Amino acid sequence: MLDNKEGSILIDVRIPIPEQKHIPGTDKFIPFNALKENRDKLPCEDKKIIVYCLKGKTSAQAAKELGKMGFTNICNLDGGIASWEK
């Protein structure tokens, strides 16, 4: 899915720290606890949103929050960057 993410947006939802690894092609960097405040940076509700973090727990929280905000096409990268690197 990450190789062909046409029509979707990839968001790193971790709180930024220096020298943090990101998946190539990441479109946005919005901390999970600031999604509501950054709604204007998110796509329309039906566009596919793929969220990730380091191990998947924070992005699972972000996916739930996005659902509460009305987004319907949300994917959580299971296992986060740790799984992606494998």
Q: What is the DSSP string of 47-86?
A: SEEEEE-SSSHHHHHHHHHHHHTT---EEE-TTHHHHHH-
Q: Residue 3: what residue type?
A: D
pLDDT for the residue 1: 58
- Say whether pTM exceeds 0.85: yes
Q: What are the two backbone dihedrals, phi and then psi, of residue 9, each rounded to the nearest 5 degrees? A: -130, 135
Residue 73: pLDDT band with limits 50, 70, 90: very high
Q: Which two tokens stand for residue 1?
A: 């899915």
- Across the chain, what does the average pLDDT equal? 88
Mean pLDDT calculated for residue range 63-77: 94
Q: Please indicate whether residue 63 or residue 15 has the higher confidence score (pLDDT).
A: 63
Residue with tokens 């996005």: 66
